[in-house]
Structure 1
């Protein structure tokens, strides 16, 4: 993970770097179709696609909504797909998206309803610059229990299972809590759908 920080940025910008890995011969078409559908909406975030991923930055709720929609749009029935997400907030280098913080919260709307798919997820939460960070991480994990996501401890991560709607609702709540209590944090997330290892 490479996060470029300096002392001049805005601590209010939420960022997410998203990578999509469909286990399909048509992986490129699945990924580009999802990204192009989102691009066509001209959503109120800063974004850039590179060799590895697409980065979205701006107001927290808009970033979470867009990343969730990207995952749903890339979902293909019976195709095992993995999504890698890195959420970050408080990095003093996040200057490119400052003006997007004034945008309204924008729901994602398509002519067809996006699927509320079952997901498995592992995530790790990292707090920077706070000595007593474990109490906040414990609170964030307990919020997942309240969402019915069945958190299970594992080495270096926590596993969650449930629907994509509940998962991203939880991400939004967890990020809001973190913004109020932690100066700078990163959340690393891996989401899996249609894994042959399940069941």
Structure 2
């Protein structure tokens, strides 16, 4: 199954080129398991979610670690019927999708609790879209329940859920939302914005 993300990183500083170029080194440990394509709008990362989300986490955390206000914008997708299967995306994370919703929610919570501490605080808002299935709202409500119990939940917003926390737990929460909810072979997308070091009052 095809899985990947179109991402754009925005450091709010005059030295944005330097911040981005330095942060790109954080992708080096993941390059052999990702297909990476960059143009003047965004960067495409294609690969299994267990590589995709840590790579996004480490890229964003590297850019934000020195206190620079940074934003990561991403569209994340799996199972899109318009994309061919890609061997690089093979993952066993979707094999448990036949399990009952409550069991999947419990597994997701355990994964977030086991997330590494990165030492960078971030906030995020995400919207989950489960495509092409009659019971899609059951999956979305199940995901919302998981998010509220995840330890990263801040509040519900119009069209989105807001999270906050260490980027280790934050990206683990987003990964679990992506992998555990929606049919195993179904089309699932997440619209994501992550921010760190904003001058706006929290």
TM more than 0.5: yes
Candidates 41, 61, 65, aligned match of 1:52: 41
Report the counterpart of residue 74 of structure 1 in structure 2.
63
TM-score calculated relative to the size of structure 2: 0.79
Please state how far the C-alpha of 1:181 moved relative to its aligned partner.
Answer: 5.2
Please, what is the CA RMSD of the aligned residues? 2.5
Give 1:119-134 correspondences, 5 Å limit: 119-134=122-137
Question: Structure 1: how far apart are the matches of 2:4 and 2:148?
Answer: 25
Q: Quote the residue 1:172 is aligned against.
A: 175
2:181 aligned counterpart, secondary structure: helix
Q: Are 1:98 and 2:101 matched, yes or no?
A: no
- Determine if contact 1:34/1:70 at 8 Å carries over to the other structure: yes
Change (3 A) 1:39 1:181: closer
Where 1:52 maps in the other structure, the secondary structure is coil
Q: Which runs of 5+ in 2 are unaligned?
A: 94-115
Residue deviations 1:31-53 (CA, integer Å, cap 9, x gap): 12222442476331111011111
Structure 1 counterpart SS, 2:60: helix
Equivalences, count: 180
CA-CA distance at 1:119 after TM superposition: 1.1
State how far apart, in whole Å, the 1-side matches of 2:28 and 2:46 are. 14
Residues 79-128 of structure 1 show CA distances to partners (whole Å, capped at 9, x for unaligned) of 21111011100112333x712135899xxxxxxx9842111111111121
Q: CA deviation at 1:27?
A: 0.4
Q: Which residue of 2 aligns with 1:17?
A: 6
Change (3 A) 1:151 1:57: same
Q: Deviations over 1:127-157 (max 9, x none)?
A: 2112321111111122122220124111111
- Cα distance change on mapping 1:139 and 1:182 into 2, 3 Å: farther
User: In 1, distance between residues paired with 2:129 and 2:28?
Assistant: 30
CA distance in 1, matches of 2:117, 2:161: 26
| Residue 62 of structure 1: how far off its partner (Å) | 0.9
